Structure 1
Amino acid sequence: MNLAWDPPFFIPLLIAIFLTYLCSKNQLVQISALGSLWNGFLVFLQLALLLIYTVDQPFWIALPTFLLFIGIELTRLIGGRRLTSLTNELNVFAEQREHFNETFRIVRSERHEFLKHVSSIHFMLENNQNAEAKNYLNELVSGYEETNLSIKGERGVVAGVLHQMYRRAQKAGISIVYDLDIPLSSLPLSDKKVVTLVGNLLSNSIDACEEWQRHYQKQAQISLQFYKRSGLNLLICKNHSLPIPTSILDELFQTYGKTTKSGSHEGLGTKLIQDIVDENQGFLDFIYKEEEFTVKIKIPAIR
């Protein structure tokens, strides 16, 4: 049965394009994740379906064809999003493994050299070189402090990400302080979630501090605090930051694509942080005041 009014073929085409645009606008990733081969194949199917509208067709044929066109586009977008998610997880796993291996290598190296350092200090003391021994010991303790801050009581992958972020901040000339009453590994989360949570917090802080330092030509600061009070795990991260537009602050931890950083950043980290907090019945609050950005996370201390 035909409609009383038979619309021109380009009207469904415009509707299809508009709906496709709305779908793609709300997606996390670009459709290019599927690659040119699969995208080309799906586009070919869609073009074939559009050819149906060039001829006069009854409504009961035109409508399913139109819905099939939209279905193909949704499949492409959702498939691209899933593929990108898996790729990102694989990259994160590879990065975590690299951090863990690097931390383990440093610990082994320090352990291997420890007796040599003790022998050197012993020789200096025997020869009444007290000042030289003191300076040498201060340098030695300073070097060990960096590793100790990261691995003290932490499980392997968590220690790895803490150590990597500490070294990254030091390399950028940023002052970074870990004030951890208890190990971050004691959070009631899997190692993967702890690494994602802490890694994104510190990575965002370092990025913001780097921009702040370039603007003011002064040293920026980061502090990460973690302690337990009244059955709650409290994680607080503070860092210097350039002014953040209100439009970004309003949705910073709520949607993908919102970022305080310039360049090609995708704005994934803040939403991933919020998702982990929500999954564990936690609470997240943040404050930006006088060019200091503070994130406070509360997670019930229940496994």
Structure 2
Amino acid sequence: MDWSSLPVLNVAVLIAASLMIGLSLVGVRPRFYIIKVILVSLGTSIVWEVLNFMHDISFLLPVVYIALIPILAVYLKLSWLQSTIAALLGVVYDLGFVELLQYNLFDLILSVSGIEEDGMIQLVLTLFVMLNNIFVSYIVYQNEPRLIQGDLFYLEKDEESQITAYRLHFVFSIVILVSINVFLYFSNVERDMFPPIYRVFVTFWSLFMCGLILFFLRAMIQHKMEQVQLYMDKQYQQDMLSFFAIIRSQRHDFNFHLNSIYGLITRQEYGACLDYIDEVVSTAQQVNELLPLKHPAISAMLNTQSGNAEGKGIKMHFRIMDDLKDMPCTVYDMNKVLGNLIQKAIEEVDEHIKEGRWVDVEITQEYGQISLKIANPTTLEEHQLGQMFTSGFSTKNTHEGIGLVGIEKIVTRYNGIIFPELTDRVLTMIVRIPLTQT
């Protein structure tokens, strides 16, 4: 074993840097997985060095990343598509930035200079590459570059058309990344056969093409996201038009209600008058509770959910103590978080609760955080709470149960947390998102 190459440590740092870049580019925040990435990298490097000591398989190092795909999916709880793309992006970094750019050019300089590579030079090169990988890892940790939004891998089943469209884009991305890696791999394997000038040309041409293709993939996915956003905007517009129609209807009917109340009072039918006022106030109160919100799209979504609940015989109550004007997330993301949590609460009550059917929604601001609370009666047991954020968990027979995983991804992207509380057969889903993003 050549100790000048710093076995185990060098490979561990390389794998960790490659995984951090790959994971960050697919929307996984490195700071939440740094310990797991280090453990996976260290364990993988130990196994790799043992196998490499028994038989020289150094040329197969890129295959290690492919073997890590199931580990990333299970240990980091990522989707298989997300894990696959992250691993392939890690291979691009390894073969392109480390092997082709650093080792290749360093070897080329030594060859042109006529300097014979010895143990000390090998040690210096290894330390140089390790420090570069550590520096790159630090940059990724701090800036979290992103090629694909993580929540695109966790769309709901009712977004089937979007799932199909994005899945096709992801599969196409995998094909492109595999092609890039095959090209980079053979460029590295055969590089000693090329003359110096051609090696320099191949190095920078390969890196240029990799950057261009990654830019193309990002533009392609971004274009698809804009199409989806346009579709969602049209849906929000329909909800808002319906919401504003209700408000206009209430204002239009006000004179009729006033005349009816006046007539009942004139006839001294005070009991009937009180019942009539209660009915009018009850009808208007649901809409009035949503008026403090700054964003009409959120008010419209909540009104739509309230109508869905009413259609199922479920009473929905709102407690709006913050208008969400300072929320750090987009209206689209807030609607996705709130809408999905409310929808899940309605579905659970509709399926499992026969009496006392209600859903409470509370929006407040406390301790510098946006606080969302969605409560409903439940049949869940305490031991099931820990499984709620596991892909596949569901209390229904017709749902895949990945919704909470997707919601958690969105909340985490804004440095927030989501957790359940179970008290006296009432389940409360609590979301906290800090106003200040760091």
With the shorter chain as reference, the TM-score category is: 0.5 to 0.7
1:201 equivalenced with 2:338 (yes/no): yes
What TM-score does the superposition give when structure 1 sets the normalisation length?
0.65
List runs of 5+ in structure 2 lacking aligned partners: 1-56, 73-79, 86-149, 154-162, 183-188, 194-201
Match of 1:268 among 406, 409, 427: 406
Residue 297 of structure 1 pairs with residue 437 of structure 2: no
Instruction: In structure 1, give the amino acid aligned to 2:334.
Output: L
Give the partner amino acid of 2:286. E
Tell me: CA distance 1:132–1:213, structure 2 relative to 1, closer, same or farther (3 Å).
Answer: same
TM-fit CA distance, 1:148: 0.8
Structure showing the higher helix proportion among its residues = 2
Q: In the TM superposition, what whole-angstrom CA distance separates every residue of 1:238-274 from its partner, at most 9, and x where no partner exists? A: 334435463443xx6xxxx676565255542332133
Counterpart amino acid of residue 157 in structure 1: A
Structure 1: gaps of 5 or more residues: 1-6, 51-57
| Residues 155 and 24 of structure 1: CA distance in aligned 2, closer, same or farther (over 3 Å) | closer
| 1:45–1:85 distance in 2 versus 1, CA, 3 Å | closer
Which residue identity lines up with residue 234 of structure 2 in the other structure?
Answer: A
Q: What is the one-letter code of the residue matched to 2:165?
A: A
What SS does the aligned partner of 1:151 have?
Answer: coil
2:432 alignment partner AA: I
CA distance in 1 between partners of 2:367 and 2:172 (Å)? 57
Aligned partner (choices 347, 350, 354) of residue 217 of structure 1: 354
1:162-185, Cα deviation, whole Å (9 max, x unpaired):
3222222222333322122x3323
* Counterpart position of 2:81: 24
Aligned-residue RMSD, C-alpha: 5.0
Match for residue 166 of structure 1 among 299, 302, 306? 306
Of residues 246, 251, 256, the one that matches 1:106 is 246
> Which has the higher Rg, Structure 1 or Structure 2?
2
Give the corresponding residue for 1:33. Answer: 165
Q: 1:238–1:301: structure 2 CA closer, same or farther, 3 Å change rule?
A: farther
**In the alignment, which residue of structure 1 is the partner of 2:417?**
284
| C-alpha contact (below 8 Å) 1:39/1:76 kept by paired residues | no
Q: Which residue of 1 aligns with 2:324?
A: 185
Shift of 1:38: 11
Q: 1:79 to 1:34 in 2, by over 3 A?
A: farther
| Maintained 8 Å contact 2:309/2:316 | yes
1:120 aligns to what SS in structure 2? helix
**In 2, are the aligned partners of 1:33 and 1:80 still within 8 Å (CA)?**
no
Classify the secondary structure of the residue corresponding to 1:125. helix
Give aligned-pair identity as a percent: 16
Q: Deviations over 1:110-152 (max 9, x none)?
A: 1111111211222232233333322222211111111111113
For residue 429 of structure 2, what is the amino acid of its counterpart? T
